[in-house]
């Protein structure tokens, strides 16, 4: 197999296109002493009358500091969902290329492959919810552009074995995307520190889960600069709005609070795990490296409806994994309410 090279993996149309240059790009760094009559904005200042910083430099350098990478290792998106879509559009030729995903996993890989007319080869996880490395390697062919690994995985909650991920990274010379939406709840280390070693590695993180900011929509992609340059070329220039950039910076300025909340959630996860095991109709509580637990019950649809009738909404995953419910870890009060309710059913 040929070694990874950005020119070989990128769609020809993307390589050849000239990116949109926004008015504000051309004068980035020039500060407010200039008179800006270039972007057809309303001149009356209300705090938001100007377009946002399309390069998001301040925010990127905060993430760079937090994760010990350089600014040019980072791309920000309107949620990870936008970043996933950019990956498809930059690298996968519709009706020709394909991706590999490992169900049961996050639904967006399949949805985006359908939207972008890119074949999704599904290689199911093993019974232990680990990647089936041999089958993945057999499924790779000349059309395979991207392998999506979600670790810790949604909805199973477990992290993938580092050895298996490493094997996939070394055997495959297309892109390997590791979706680390739940990494801050995990014992496993982030793959960010392996970026220098693997030019084909893309890591996705988000402010939606551990960072408590699902409402602002901010996803963070880490990769080598050649990948970042291609994705930056096709991203909508103003994809991160001003309010999102402001609120993200505020939140990142209090990492102690974020770490405190993560600790609480992990403690509460361990608490509900042991309590759930005591419920007679709970047959299994899968070990979790995330902020949710997957449980197997006697009759998932029945228990799901019973819980809703008691005012508690969980996720019924039984179409993917037989009789399984996915339960997000809540506050101490919410969790004891859940456990009390389950005991009464
Ligand atoms: C929640 C989640 C995300 C986050 O998506 P955003 O668009 O950033 O909110 C990404 N990947 C997985 C696997 C998730 O479960």
pLDDT tens-digit series, residues 231-243: 999 999 999 999 9
180 lines ligand 1 (CB under 6 A): no
Q: What's the mean pLDDT when you consider all of the chain?
A: 96
- Give the nearest ligand 1 atom to 81 CA: 7
Q: Does the Cβ of 82 fall within 6 Å of ligand 1?
A: no
Q: List, for residues 85-142, the tens digit of each pLDDT value.
A: 999 999 999 999 999 999 999 999 999 999 999 999 999 999 999 999 999 999 999 9
CA 76 centroid distance within chain: 12
Q: Is the pLDDT of residue 29 over 70?
A: no
Q: 37 alpha carbon to ligand 1 midpoint, in Å?
A: 38
Report how far residue 287's alpha carbon sits from residue 295's, in angstroms, rounded to the nearest whole number.
9
Angstrom distance (rounded) from CA 282 to CA 273: 11
Bridging pattern class, strands 324-328 and 292-297: antiparallel
Determine if ligand 1 sits within 6 Å of the CB of residue 295: no
CA distance 243 to 213: 12
Whether 181 lines ligand 1, by a CB cut-off of 6 Å, is yes
The closest alpha carbon to 294, from 131, 160, 105, belongs to 105
Nearest residue to 202 (alpha-carbon basis) of 183, 223, 219: 223
Å from CA of 80 to ligand 1 middle: 6
Ligand 1, residues 150, 209, 215, 293: which to mutate, most atoms within 8 A of Cβ? 209
Asked if pLDDT for residue 41 goes beyond 90, the answer is: yes
- The answer to whether the CB of 210 is under 6 A from ligand 1 is no
**Span 178-197, pLDDT tens digits:** 999 999 999 999 999 999 99
Whole-model pTM above 0.85? yes
């Amino acid at each position: 197999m040929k070694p990874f090279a950005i020119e070989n993996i990128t769609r020809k149309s993307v390589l050849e296109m000239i990116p949109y240059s926004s008015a504000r790009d051309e004068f980035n760094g020039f500060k407010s002493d200039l008179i800006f009559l270039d972007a057809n904005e309303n001149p009356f200042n209300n705090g938001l009358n100007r377009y946002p910083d399309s390069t998001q430099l301040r925010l990127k350098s905060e993430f760079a500091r937090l994760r010990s990478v350089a600014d040019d290792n980072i791309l920000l998106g309107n949620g990870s969902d936008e970043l996933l879509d950019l990956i498809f559009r930059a690298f996968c030729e519709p009706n020709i290329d394909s991706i590999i995903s490992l169900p049961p996993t996050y639904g967006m890989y399949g949805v985006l492959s359908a939207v972008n007319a890119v074949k999704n080869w599904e290689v199911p996880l093993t019974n232990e919810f680990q990647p089936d490395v041999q089958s993945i390697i057999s499924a790779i062919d000349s059309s395979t552009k991207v392998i999506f690994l979600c670790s810790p995985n949604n909805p199973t909650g477990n992290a993938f074995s580092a050895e298996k991920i490493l094997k996939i990274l070394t055997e495959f010379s297309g892109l390997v995307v590791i979706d680390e939406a739940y990494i801050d709840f995990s014992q496993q280390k982030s793959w960010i520190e392996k970026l220098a070693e693997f030019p084909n590695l893309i890591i996705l993180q988000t402010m939606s889960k551990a960072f408590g900011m699902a409402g602002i929509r901010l996803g963070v992609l880490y990769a080598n600069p050649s990948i970042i340059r291609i994705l930056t070329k096709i991203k909508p220039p103003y994809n991160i709005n001003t309010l999102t950039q402001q609120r993200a910076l505020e939140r990142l300025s209090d990492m102690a609070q974020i770490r405190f909340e993560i600790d609480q959630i992990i403690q509460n996860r361990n608490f509900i795990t042991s309590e759930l095991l005591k419920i007679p109709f709970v047959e299994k509580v899968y070990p979790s490296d995330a902020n949710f637990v997957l449980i197997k019950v006697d009759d998932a649809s029945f228990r799901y409806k019973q819980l809703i009738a008691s005012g508690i909404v969980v996720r019924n995953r039984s179409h993917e994994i037989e009789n399984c419910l996915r339960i997000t870890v809540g506050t101490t009060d919410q969790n004891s309410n859940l456990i009390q309710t389950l005991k009464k059913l």
